[in-house]
Amino acid sequence: MSRKKSYDRDEKNFTVRLSAFIVDKRKAFYLIYIGLLIFSIISSGWVKVDNILTDYLPENTETRQGLTVMEEEFTTFGTADIMIENISYEQGVKISEGMENIEGVKSVEYDDSEEHYKDVSGLFSVTFEGEEEDEISVKALNEIKEKYAGYDIYISSGVGDVMAEQLAGEMRTVMCIAAVIIVSVLLLTSHTYAEIPVLLMTFISSALINKGTNYLFGTISFVSNSVAVVLQLALAVDYAIILCHRYTEERELHEAREAVVAALSKSIPEILGSSLTTLSGLAAITFMQFRIGFDLGMVLIKSIIISLLCVFTLMPGLLMSFSSLIDRTHHRSFVPKINIWGKFVIKCRKISLPVFTAVIIGALFLSNMCPYVYGTSTLSTITKNDMQIAHAKITGTFGSENTMAMLVPAGNYEKEAGLIRELERMEEVDSVTGLANIEAKDGYMLAEYLSPRQFAELTDMDIDTARMLYSAYAAEEENYGKIISGIDSYDVPLLDMFEFLYQRVDEGYINLDDEAKNDIEDMHDALTDAKLQLLGDNYSRFVMELNLPEESGETFDFLDTLHETAEKYYEEGCIMVGDSTSDADLASSFKTDNILINILTIVFVILVLLFTFKSAGIPVLLILVIQGSIWINFAFPYILDENMFFMSYLIVSSIQMGANIDYAIVITNRYYSLKQKMPLKEAVVETLNQAFPTIITSGTMLASSGVLIGLLSSSEVVASIGVALGRGTIISIVLVMFLLPQLLYIGDRIIEKTSFTLKKPVTPQISSGYMRVDGHIKGQVSGIVDGEFKGTVKGTVNAVIDNRTSEKKEDEETEGKEAAEDEKQNENYIE
């Protein structure tokens, strides 16, 4: 059949009409994209970035519940650990006094103990007057940096957290290097030099629009904000390359416009099919209990959809506009033929298949022993930011701290005091701070119950004034029995009585001399700070320092011990908050998430493959190869004795299955097509030859993007994802280019036997008049006809037509003319 005739006949197809519309209206699409790009550049500044992983914990976890309570009921002042090296203790004292005089600094802890002075280094524990995000805290910390810049100073603090800015800067570096790699790969694998600006404009437009439309989510995680652009380009590059290569093929047969229309109409089904496996893998991670999976999954799904839209609606117009330049810049292919590799793959199949089978089985067991961790304290990165360097310096000299908060029901100071005393006796606890054990003055604790005489001694108040104060307090509390039986036996918590005294002095009911007033004012400031941090409307907070690592089996067991201890005093028990409880919560959710995401990813991908290849055997082979690469990938942390962040596994395994399986689909499609034309061995060799440029292009971009993220990101979470993704992609490429062709060759009979065809229901066509028919007819055509028919029919047709052309002619007078045209076209008709 002539190609020209085939194209004419397809013009009534919907995708052809849609493609023609996109190409013809390309200037309108240019205007739309210019508007979208301007809007996206502006709206990208509206996107809020959340730097705190615990914000994505499920609402039913202990840590999330505790953090919610603390946000609602307590004030947590900003703090900073500041280490200055090469100073004497006396110099440290002067520095401490200087820091306390800075506006915004509430207090500075520094003494001659090993907790604050060791190895000619001083550690200053600074507390600010505001919370971490408050301007007063940020300004004070900046002033400290400026004032002591001449010293060997290291600062570890969450105040004025600049992690998002640092990550953004690191990702810009990654993008710059990735851009060089992408352009280099495209130069090697492209057909013409002018393709490259078309591809780059498509990539950049899709990336900017995706980044700008993130504001629709309101707030996204720092993980999504960091890796989305790089992963978008790496995951979606295939779509643009498919369309570009298809255009090159069609341009040999058609004029520029017709070539773009034909290329787009034929690429749409192929590109959509390719994107489904990627979208399936991304959709699976949105089901994670740890909601950062949903956050990243939604951002990346949106990025893939936007990339598809840019390829379908922007790139065709660019190809048309650059068509003359593309025609003039053709160059020879720089991608070598790999016939030798293909022949090697076939020859060593009997050896390599058993070896790889053993490797994959071994990797399955080793990956199950992967040392997963749920916090970042044991992870390290190649690139380190100033905060990480400072933290390493401080912990290296003074040791690390594991700070925990315990929340218990408020209102009973005696229970709090009893629980604190029991906690202080535990070997695993270095210190506990709560209202019940904070000293107010002269050995009296804030929550201690005092009589009028004891309170008078504490505050230097006249005993009669103290009795009057206690009587007024009893009356306000409607505790009249104490007034009648004798106020001297009435014991009231120091904290409550002091608050009552301060109110009465402030209202003018009690007169004190200036010195006493100043003492009361100073005590009130201290007590107010203590209450803000440790006493809420419904809960009291204890702050504990544990001598246990942040994450270990011993630590997780001790958390259970703390809960059991609290239950002795409170039926409701307690809520524990800290890095250790966060890690424990994530560890418990990982088991469920792991099973769920693996099952969903495999099911989604199998369904796509099943309907793509219409075979039950092929999905099994492809899943086996990619799942094998996943097992090998996550066997490496165990072999190298390196911890693996659990979230990296969940995210990368889904992306690896959803995206890397595209490489396997490319190989399988080529093999399926070529084996119809040549012997199986030759089909394998030619398959690898034809698939190599596509796989090396896409694979190099994804692998290099992952490796760059792993090398250049200072975020432990982001770097961990990058390392696993880069390594996994390389492993997938090796298995797809080596193991998969052997499996296809050996399993060819099984594949054929497990193939099936989805038959569409057919209905007879009923028509009468003058018709031109080209195809297989079974039915009645003014008689019975069953066979291939090419020509014209005049009469009534009631038949099933499996045809290439069936057109009814309204004007019978044109019969002679049409017959003449058919005769002319048949001269060029090639079946």
Instruction: Convert the pLDDT of each residue in 366-402 to its tens digit.
Output: 999 999 999 888 888 898 888 889 989 999 999 888 9
- Contact predicate 633/733, CB 8 Å: no
What pLDDT, on a 0 to 100 scale, did the predictor assign at position 460?
78
- Residues 6 or more apart whose CB falls under 8 angstroms from that of 61 comprise 585, 589
Flag whether pLDDT at 534 surpasses 50: yes
Interatomic CA distance for residues 566 and 432, integer angstroms: 14
Residues 144-158 have a mean pLDDT of: 92
| Mean pLDDT within 335-342 | 85
Phi, psi of 573 (to 5 degrees): 75, -150
Residue 45, CB-side half-sphere exposure with 13 Å CA sphere: 4
Please report the pLDDT score of residue 321 as a whole number. 92
How many Å apart are CA 285 and CA 543, to the nearest integer? Answer: 35
- The angle, 0 to 180 degrees and rounded to 10, between the axes of the packed helices 222-251 and 163-189 is 20
pLDDT average, residue stretch 521-530: 80
In eight-state DSSP terms, residue 760 is P
- Cα distances from 576 to residues 97, 559, 563, 573, in angstroms, run 35, 8, 8, 10
| β-pair partners for 151 | none
Q: Rounded CA gap, 123 and 630, in Å? A: 45
What's the CA gap between 766 and 774, in Å, rounded?
16
At 37, list the tokens: 């790009």
Q: Please answer whether residues 408 and 570 qualify as being in contact, where contact means their C-beta atoms are separated by less than 8 angstroms.
A: yes
Q: Are 617 and 720 spatial neighbours (Cβ–Cβ below 8 Å)?
A: no
Output phi, psi for 74, to 5 deg.
-125, 155
- What's the confidence (pLDDT) of residue 192? 85
Q: Which residues make Cβ contacts (< 8 Å) with residue 25, sequence separation at least 6?
A: none
Nearby residues of 55 by Cβ (< 8 Å), 6 or more positions away:
none
C-alpha to C-alpha distance for 212 and 204, rounded to whole angstroms = 12
Strands 48-50 and 219-221, bridge-based pairing: parallel
Three-class secondary structure assignment of 337-352: CCHHHHHHHHHCHHHH
* Radius of gyration, CA atoms only, the chain: 37
Give the whole-angstrom CA distance, residue 489 versus residue 467: 10
Listed residue (737, 675, 744, 745) closest to 338, CA to CA? 737
* Distance in angstroms (rounded) separating the CA atoms of residues 667 and 670: 5
**Rounded to an integer, what distance in angstroms lies between the CA atom of residue 338 and that of residue 692?**
8
Q: How much is the average pLDDT of 238-266?
A: 87
Of 675, 688, 669, the C-alpha closest to 338 is: 688
Task: Kindly list the distances between the CA atom of residue 692 and the CA atoms of 193, 267, 338, 699, 700, in Å, as whole numbers in the listed order.
Answer: 20, 19, 8, 10, 11
Higher-pLDDT residue of 424, 790: 424
The answer to whether residue 291 scores a pLDDT higher than 90 is no
Confidence of residue 241 (pLDDT cuts 50, 70, 90): confident
Residue 466 pLDDT: 86
Distances (CA, A) of 283 to 239, 262, 320, 410, 650: 19, 31, 34, 44, 12
Residue 776 has pLDDT above 70, yes or no: no
Task: Name the range with the highest mean pLDDT among 208-212, 441-445, 698-702.
Answer: 208-212
> Average pLDDT of 411-419?
89
In which band, very low, low, confident or very high, does the pLDDT at 790 lie, cut at 50, 70 and 90? low
Q: How confident is the model at residue 2 (pLDDT cuts 50, 70, 90)?
A: very low
Q: Which amino acid is at 770?
A: Y
Q: In this predicted structure, what is the pLDDT of residue 791? A: 61
For the cut 80, the answer to whether the pLDDT of residue 526 exceeds it is no
Please, are residues 730 and 703 in contact by the beta-carbon 8 Å criterion?
A: yes
Residue 23, number of CB atoms within 10 A of its CB? 21
- Tell me the C-alpha distance between 422 and 415, whole Å: 11
Retrieve residue 789's tokens.
């028919």
Mean pLDDT of the chain: 84
Contacts (Cβ under 8 Å, ≥6 apart) of 825: 2, 5
pLDDT digits (tens, 9 = 90+) for 572-620: 889 999 999 999 998 888 888 888 888 888 888 888 888 777 777 788 8
- CA neighbor of 86 nearest in space, from 119, 124, 108: 119
Residues paired with residue 154 on neighbouring β-strands, in sequence order: 83
Question: How far lies 353's CA from each of 340, 345, 617, in Å?
Answer: 19, 10, 18
**pLDDT of 486 higher than 90:** no
**How many whole angstroms separate alpha carbon 569 and alpha carbon 434?**
15
Q: Is the pLDDT of residue 29 over 90?
A: yes
Q: Is residue 505 within 8 Å of 513, Cβ to Cβ?
A: no
Q: What is the DSSP pairing of strand 372-373 with strand 644-645?
A: parallel
Q: Are 688 and 195 in contact (CB under 8 A)?
A: no
Q: pLDDT at position 783, please?
A: 54
Q: Which residue has the tokens 């058919």?
A: 822
- State mean pLDDT over 118-135: 92
- Residue 824 pLDDT greater than 60, yes or no: no
Helix, strand, or coil (residue 544): strand
8 has pLDDT over 60: no
| Count of Cβ atoms closer than 10 Å to residue 599 Cβ | 12
pLDDT of residue 9 exceeding 70, the answer is no
Residue 72 pLDDT > 50, yes or no? yes
Q: Whole-angstrom Cα distance, residue 402 to residue 551?
A: 10
415: phi then psi, degrees, rounded to nearest 5: -65, -40
Among the listed ranges 114-118, 227-231, 715-719, which one has the minimum average pLDDT value? 227-231
Q: Residue 799's beta-bridge partner residues? A: 765, 779
Angle, CA of 585, 587 and 591, to the nearest 5°: 120
286 in Cβ contact with 650 (< 8 Å): no
| Average pLDDT of the residues in 310-338 | 88
- Any alpha helices (H) in 86-218, and if so which ranges? 89-100, 135-147, 163-189, 195-213
Residue 759 has pLDDT above 70, yes or no: no
The closest of 172, 227, 180 to 200, measured between CA atoms, is 180
pLDDT at 552 over 70: yes
Please report how many Cα atoms fall inside a 13 Å half-sphere around the Cα of residue 736, on the Cβ side.
33
Instruction: Please count the other Cβ atoms lying within 10 Å of the Cβ belonging to residue 379.
Output: 17
Q: Determine the average pLDDT of the residues in 629-644.
A: 93
The tokens of 384 are what? 């380190």
Q: Which residues pair with 29 in a beta bridge?
A: none
The torsion angle over the Cα atoms of residues 367, 368, 374 and 380, rounded to 10 degrees, is -30
* DSSP H helix total and E strand total for the chain: 31, 19
Give the global pTM. 0.77
Q: What is the pLDDT of residue 772?
A: 62
Higher pLDDT, 483 or 735: 735
Is residue 771 scored above 80 in pLDDT? no
Q: Report the DSSP beta bridge partners of residue 781.
A: 797
Q: What is the pLDDT of residue 779?
A: 56
Distance CA 152, CA 352 (A): 58
Stretch among 444-458, 665-679, 796-810 having the lowest mean pLDDT: 796-810
From the list 558, 613, 565, the residue with the least C-alpha distance to 580 is 558
pLDDT of 301 = 93
